[in-house]
């Protein structure tokens, strides 16, 4: 969720990929979502699948989200119900208890995140329950939102009449999702999503939240990767496609399927670094490199440097790496495994 300059170092990097990597260097700098501030453009590609000595992920003594999480969605703007059900099913797929999905499942993917603990030796919870949804169809804070205005959107959702969301500072987590026509500060230019915590002066309490924008219209080539590929950047990378054909989205919508991985990215980071004082690499807490930042663009074994890695293909050729409820399939990026000291996901072949 944050972009921090990091060195490219990968065994798989080859000379002939230099052109592609140059594009990716630029592109990953644009893609990585982050916590709060971010000024560093032109970062380099992040790929640590095979190299752990470069990563200095540290624990900074703050809490992780260890209690069962009540997740609340705020649908901001004009949402397509089909897209909403893809996202809802994804969120319903997290809890191991509710998991009726075959291996590797979303809950199996979440197991890597659960390896993180805080100073009380409490692991991140495996219990994420979608506990409420709010529809802000009237664009309560307009069609352009600054980063700080996301907190006002949460405030409106917990105070609206009728049907306010509960304000739950104990185990609440708020996920603000903006529709295709909503512009958000830095969206597409620097971030696809971010997480932070609310200020008591705006919302009344401190509670973690994340925002992710629907990218199908404004910047699919950036935020719905690898189902879309930036224009003017040449061929898609090897493994995403045959020739110039891009990987198809498993639930049929480039924007919603692309958001899934960004939502997963943000949930991994908000739970492991909810107050931005727990798990991150780098010396700058205003631009931390968090557990999903380390693995942006990696979805399977061998991934990195522009190759998504070994993922599954369904009968229509859509790419996915985990199963969800109701027979759904999703493609989610890997996260850093603190035990193996590399990016990892349940679809790993080794």
Tell me which residues touch ligand NAG (CB under 6 A): 114-115, 117, 123, 338-339
Q: Which is nearer to ligand NAG, 25 or 115 (CB)?
A: 115
What does the DSSP 8-state code read for residue 67? S
Q: Which is nearer to ligand NAG, 88 or 341 (CB)?
A: 341
SS3 325: helix
SS3 13: coil
The contacts of residue 329 (CB under 8 Å, 6+ apart) are: 250, 251, 312, 314, 318, 320, 322, 323
Which residue is listed with tokens 């990953």? 28
Closest CB 112 distance from ligand NAG, rounded Å: 9
CA distances from 116 to 30, 110, 113, 282 (A): 27, 11, 6, 17
Closest CB 111 distance from ligand NAG, rounded Å: 6
Q: Which is nearer to ligand NAG, 123 or 146 (CB)?
A: 123
Q: Which is nearer to ligand NAG, 102 or 123 (CB)?
A: 123
Q: Which is nearer to ligand NAG, 65 or 87 (CB)?
A: 65
Between CA 330 and CA 267 the distance in angstroms is 15
Residue closest to 330 by CA, chosen among 134, 110, 172: 110
Closest CB 22 distance from ligand NAG, rounded Å: 37
């Amino acid at each position: 969720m944050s972009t921090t300059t990091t060195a490219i170092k990968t065994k798989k990097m080859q000379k002939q990929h230099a052109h592609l990597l140059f594009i990716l260097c630029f592109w990953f700098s644009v893609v990585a979502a982050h916590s709060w501030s971010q000024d560093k453009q032109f970062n380099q590609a992040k790929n640590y699948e095979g190299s752990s000595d470069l990563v200095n992920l540290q624990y900074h003594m703050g809490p992780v989200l260890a209690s069962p999480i009540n997740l609340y969605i705020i649908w901001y703007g004009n949402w397509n119900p089909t897209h909403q059900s893809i996202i809802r099913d994804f969120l319903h797929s997290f809890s191991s208890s509710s998991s009726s999905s075959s291996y590797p499942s979303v809950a199996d993917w979440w197991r890597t995140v659960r390896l993180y603990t805080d100073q009380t030796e409490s692991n991140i919870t495996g219990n994420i329950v979608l506990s409420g949804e709010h529809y802000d169809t009237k664009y309560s804070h307009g069609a352009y939102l600054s980063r700080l205005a996301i907190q006002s959107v949460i405030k409106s959702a917990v105070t609206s009449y009728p049907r306010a969301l509960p304000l739950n500072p104990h185990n609440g987590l708020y996920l603000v999702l903006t529709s295709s026509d909503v512009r958000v500060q830095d969206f597409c230019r620097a971030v696809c999503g971010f997480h932070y915590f609310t200020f008591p002066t705006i919302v009344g309490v401190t509670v973690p939240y994340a925002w992710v924008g629907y990218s199908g219209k404004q910047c699919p080539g950036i935020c719905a990767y690898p189902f879309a590929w930036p224009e003017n950047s040449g061929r898609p990378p090897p493994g995403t496609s045959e020739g110039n054909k891009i990987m198809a989205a498993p639930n049929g919508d480039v924007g919603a399927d692309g958001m899934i991985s960004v939502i997963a990215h943000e949930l991994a980071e908000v739970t492991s670094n909810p107050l931005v004082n727990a798990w991150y690499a780098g010396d700058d807490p205003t631009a931390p490199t968090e557990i999903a930042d380390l693995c942006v663009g990696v979805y399977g074994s061998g991934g990195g440097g522009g190759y998504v890695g070994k993922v599954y293909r369904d009968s229509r050729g859509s790419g996915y790496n985990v199963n969800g409820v109701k027979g759904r399939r999703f493609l989610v990026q890997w996260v850093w495994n603190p035990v193996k000291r590399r990016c990892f996901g349940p679809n790993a072949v080794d």
